Structure 1
Amino acid sequence: MTAELLFAATLLATLICGLVAGVFFAFSSFVLRALARLPAARGIEAMQSVNRVVLNPLFLGVFVGAALLGLALAVAAVLRWDHDGSAWSLAGGLLYVFGAFVLTGVVHVPRNEALLRVDAESEEGARLWARYVPVWGAANHVRTVAALAASACFAVSLATV
């Protein structure tokens, strides 16, 4: 990877990891809290709508693109380990891939799918929602910090590319 390409990829990773961190931060700081204040059926319906709408090319392109770019930069860091900034790029890639992307697949996606299948007005729905909010929210705090830390690592790496 040329120095120019590495710089451009690292800059893009810095920006899109920060963008994803902002989306996660919004959910952690007010969106999920607002939904949790609603009656269970209304909160479920609202989150079901969010979970349907989020599956769009723009968001998925940024979210998945950040993971692919983070992985590529982590590999480049290992291959260029003797260059300044490699440790920061490796850390940024690992933080995003595992702390944001993999965590989403392990924690958020299964819960979102279960929520999409439940009748919002049912007792089962109310029980699911009572478990969904704290677990989904706590894991979202983790991925917020991971995506923001990844962005910071890539930014530090930029200073050395």
Structure 2
Amino acid sequence: MAEFVHVVVPVFAAVATGLFAGLFFTFSVAVMPGLARAGDRVMIEAMQGVNVAILNPFFALVFIGAPVAVLACLVLHASVGAAAAAGWSAAALACLVAAMLITFGVNVPRNNALERVGPPERVADPAAVRGAFEGVWVRWNHLRTLFSVVGLVCAVTALTVR
């Protein structure tokens, strides 16, 4: 059973970290560039909808599950003296924590501010609302994408070293 855990947990950690990174990557290369082509009210409405839709069990499983699984890998690797794998797991965990700190420190507060403006059709100056949201949100999303992709590389590397 212990051997099974030492295989399944690292694989789950890598897959969950890949999904974690993939979410932010998708926003960087498709969602936000697509919304950049939309009108101000459409962008506000779309992001308000995304911000509600993303709060679901699948997202929670990945967003919380990836760092928890990577932490479990760190503990597993350290417990059997696999120092290199533990080191890569620690690096992966640090990257995921950095992405989460950016999320809670920058992106979520901007999402909440966007929600507080109310329905887009009632916004007096949608260009100003968009301007206060989009540029900063996108820049910080690129950074959390970078951190999470590096975290994925570290989590996968931890699978291959001992």
- Partners of 1:124 and 1:113 in 2: CA distance: 18
1:32 is displaced (CA, Å) by 0.8
Equivalent residue, structure 2, for 1:151: 152
Number of corresponding residues: 160
TM-score normalized by structure 1? Answer: 0.87
Pairing 1:107-122 to 2, within 5 Å after superposition: 107-119=106-118, 120-121=120-121, 122=123
Pairing 1:24-35 to 2, within 5 Å after superposition: 24-35=24-35
Pair 85,115 (structure 1): closer, same or farther in 2 beyond 3 Å = same
TM-score normalized by structure 2? Answer: 0.86
* RMSD of equivalent CA atoms: 2.2
Instruction: Verify: 1:37 aligned to 2:33, yes or no.
Output: no
Equivalent residue, structure 2, for 1:96: 96
Equivalent residue, structure 2, for 1:50: 50
Q: 5+ unaligned residues in a row in structure 2: which ranges?
A: none
Instruction: Verify: 1:133 aligned to 2:134, yes or no.
Output: yes
1:125 is displaced (CA, Å) by 4.2
- Partners of 1:6 and 1:89 in 2: CA distance: 13
Equivalent residue, structure 2, for 1:23: 23
Q: Do the aligned partners of 2:91 and 2:151 also contact (CA within 8 Å) in 1?
A: yes
Mean Cα deviation higher: 80-89 or 53-62: 80-89
1:5 is displaced (CA, Å) by 2.0
> Percent identity of the aligned residues?
35
Q: 5+ unaligned residues in a row in structure 1: which ranges?
A: none
**Counterpart of 2:84 in 1: which secondary structure?**
coil
Pair 129,149 (structure 1): closer, same or farther in 2 beyond 3 Å = same
Aligned AA for 2:55?
L
